[in-house]
Structure 1
Amino acid sequence: MMNEALLYDTLRQGLWVSVVISIPILGVALAAGLVVGLFQALTSIQEMTLTFVPKLLAIVGIFWVTMNFMTETLVTFFQATLIPIIAGG
């Protein structure tokens, strides 16, 4: 049976893993948004696709590059934390 402390500790670890996994994608989206916003401000071009397409390409690219890191982090979390709890250990 899972007690309250174990439940909260598992939730805390799961939230931390989600933060660690999302940092590369959010960081690249922020950087791409800043670059595109600066470009738009400097050139006075206010095209909506100009903000969407570069961000999308940057996010997809960084997702492809960091997919192995994300998968390894999630697998480690599941093997070290969740599977022993489910198995009753």
Structure 2
Amino acid sequence: MSELIFFDTLRQGLWISVLISAPILGVALVVGLAIGLLQALTSIQEMTLTFVPKMAAILGAFWVSMSFMTLTLGRYFTDTLLPIIQGY
């Protein structure tokens, strides 16, 4: 395997990981900002107030985007990695 194929496959793999993690990280960011704003406005500094809703939102986002993640990883494996493993 040449260096060009290796680095192109690595670049594609890193981009796939960014695409897969974006929905979950986006939801965590939005919920964290909303709860932080709520805490700043009400002066409530409870640690579980940030943890529990954020975890629930992350689990919900994971459940909703699970099919997208599976299809994306499956397509990357069958279209990119299997031909390299088989030797073209």
Cα offset for 1:28?
0.2
Q: Name the SS of the counterpart of 1:13 in structure 2.
A: helix
Q: Aligned residues, how many?
A: 88
The 2-side partners of 1:72 and 1:8 are apart by: 23
CA deviations 1:27-76 (Å, max 9, x no partner) are: 00000000000000010000000000010000000000000000000000
Amino acid at match of 1:50: L
Runs of 5+ consecutive residues of structure 2 not aligned to the other structure: none
The 2-side partners of 1:52 and 1:35 are apart by: 13
What corresponds to 2:26 in structure 1? 27
Superposition CA RMSD, Å: 0.3
Amino acid at match of 1:83: L
Runs of 4+ in 1 over 2 A off after TM superposition: none
The 2-side partners of 1:10 and 1:67 are apart by: 23
The 1-side partners of 2:65 and 2:3 are apart by: 34
The 1-side partners of 2:20 and 2:30 are apart by: 17
The 1-side partners of 2:5 and 2:87 are apart by: 12
TM (norm. structure 1) is: 0.98
Cα offset for 1:17?
0.3
The 1-side partners of 2:34 and 2:53 are apart by: 10
What percentage of residue pairs aligned between the two structures are identical? 68
